[in-house]
């Protein structure tokens, strides 16, 4: 039987036959649990159900699990140390500031992953979600962002009727040149083009309204990702068994989901719940009233329109929000 097994250490595809004990042994052999830990529970199906671990001599086929299932493994330390409560308290304090919601059915967290606020946040978020390119992989990120900008510029040039001056807000040639600059913000036009190119649905969760703005392909897209839009910045939603910001843990983020799948539907529900939490933390920015400073000439501007007009007149596109 072949399983996709997820633990707090890694995710692997393993093949195992025989008894439950054989499965537990294979989990340990594959390094899915630490040496000092033991397998506390194994969950399968949707919603996840627990495998009874009291009789490990039982045949795998009698447990309700089937070849091709995803198994979720929970572990526990085999030795109880006196310092454990203190360690747990420290861990709680370290993770409590990470925006998240916990789903007990899936035994996982839906987490807001912040990407750099460098005017390429839209592109960075898509790269993070779809291609697992993390924000600390500097040169690779810049190279891939440039590819996405070039893709957008080319698509606009190839579709002058769809992307005319009225839609773009400036002459087509000027817009194509502008979007290639590393300081130019991306938005709905760029999302639509990239979604179509990747054959991927991109759902933008607007924090202020807690509603999804869905960029859906009418073709054959089977998967989706979720971005979070604050009004001036894009971040990305991820699911993980571990609540952490360590790079080693972020590499296990799951950001791409199948449309219509039970897991995908639950993820969307959790994203909206997390969005409501973000609203209480004033995560969103009203784009008609927020103030920004031009980082090139230091002029103070009001709203997205003010920043856009300033950019059109001066060629300055680097802005920083002024906090109250």
> Token pair for residue 26?
């294979």
pTM value? Answer: 0.64
Q: Which uninterrupted H or E stretch holds 250?
A: helix 247-250
Please report the pLDDT score of residue 89 as a whole number: 39
Q: Does any domain span residue 105?
A: no
Considering the domain architecture, whether residues 141 and 228 belong to the same structural domain is answered as yes
* Rounded Cα–Cα distance for residues 47 and 15 (Å): 23
* Rounded Cα–Cα distance for residues 199 and 76 (Å): 41
Residue carrying the six token digits 């990305």: 236
pLDDT in tens, the chain (324 residues): 888 888 777 778 888 888 988 988 888 888 888 766 677 778 876 546 778 777 888 888 887 787 877 788 877 654 433 333 444 333 444 455 789 999 988 889 999 999 887 889 999 999 999 988 765 555 667 889 999 999 999 999 999 999 999 889 889 999 999 999 988 888 999 999 999 999 999 999 988 888 998 988 766 889 999 999 988 789 999 999 999 988 888 989 999 999 999 999 999 999 999 999 988 876 755 444 556 667 667 677 766 667 767 777 777 766 665 554
CA-based R_g, the chain, Å: 23
CATH number (domain holding residue 54): 3.10.20.90
Q: Does any domain span residue 68?
A: yes
Q: Does any domain span residue 225?
A: yes
The residue among 247, 229, 248, 226 whose CA lies nearest residue 237 is 226
Q: What Cα–Cα distance (Å) separates residue 168 from each residue in 102, 194, 204, 269, 307?
A: 40, 16, 20, 33, 15
Considering the domain architecture, whether residues 175 and 275 belong to the same structural domain is answered as yes
* Rounded Cα–Cα distance for residues 176 and 140 (Å): 23
Domain that holds residue 313: 291-321
Please report the pLDDT score of residue 287 as a whole number: 46
Domain count, the chain: 3
Considering the domain architecture, whether residues 20 and 69 belong to the same structural domain is answered as yes
Q: Does any domain span residue 128?
A: yes
Considering the domain architecture, whether residues 126 and 205 belong to the same structural domain is answered as yes
Please report the pLDDT score of residue 313 as a whole number: 77
> Token pair for residue 299?
């002029």
Considering the domain architecture, whether residues 191 and 246 belong to the same structural domain is answered as yes
Please report the pLDDT score of residue 318 as a whole number: 64
Considering the domain architecture, whether residues 59 and 185 belong to the same structural domain is answered as no
Bond prior to 188 in cis (omega within 30° of 0): no
Considering the domain architecture, whether residues 66 and 135 belong to the same structural domain is answered as no
Please report the pLDDT score of residue 92 as a whole number: 41
Q: Does any domain span residue 101?
A: no
The residue among 49, 48, 10 whose CA lies nearest residue 27 is 10
């Amino acid at each position: 039987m072949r399983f996709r097994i997820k633990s707090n250490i890694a995710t692997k595809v393993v093949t195992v036959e025989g008894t439950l004990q054989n499965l537990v042994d294979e989990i340990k052999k594959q390094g899915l649990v630490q040496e000092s830990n033991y397998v506390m529970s194994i969950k399968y199906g949707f919603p996840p159900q627990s495998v009874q671990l009291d009789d490990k001599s039982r045949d795998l086929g009698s447990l309700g699990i089937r070849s091709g299932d995803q198994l979720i493994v929970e572990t526990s330390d085999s030795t109880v140390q006196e310092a454990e409560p203190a360690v747990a308290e420290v861990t709680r304090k370290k993770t409590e500031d990470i925006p998240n919601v916990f789903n007990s059915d899936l035994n996982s967290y839906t987490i807001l992953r912040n990407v750099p606020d460098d005017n390429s946040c839209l592109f960075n978020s898509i790269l993070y979600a779809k291609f697992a390119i993390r924000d600390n992989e500097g040169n690779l990120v810049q190279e891939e962002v440039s590819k996405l900008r070039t893709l957008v510029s080319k698509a606009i040039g190839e579709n002058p009727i769809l992307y005319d001056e009225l839609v773009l807000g400036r002459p087509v040639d000027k817009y194509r040149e502008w979007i290639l600059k590393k300081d130019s913000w991306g938005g709905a036009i760029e999302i639509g083009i990239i979604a179509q190119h990747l054959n991927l649905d991109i759902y933008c969760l607007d924090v202020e309204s807690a509603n999804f703005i869905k960029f859906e392909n009418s073709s054959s897209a089977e998967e989706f990702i979720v971005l979070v839009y604050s009004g001036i910045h894009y971040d990305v939603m991820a699911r993980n068994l571990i609540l952490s910001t360590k790079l080693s843990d972020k590499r296990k983020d799951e950001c791409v989901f199948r449309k219509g799948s039970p897991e995908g539907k639950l993820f969307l529900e959790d994203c909206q719940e997390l969005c409501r939490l973000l609203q209480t933390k004033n995560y969103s920015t009203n784009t008609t009233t927020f103030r920004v400073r031009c980082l090139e000439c230091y002029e103070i501007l009001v709203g997205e329109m003010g920043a856009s007009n300033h950019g059109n007149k001066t060629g300055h596109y680097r802005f920083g929000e002024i906090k109250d």
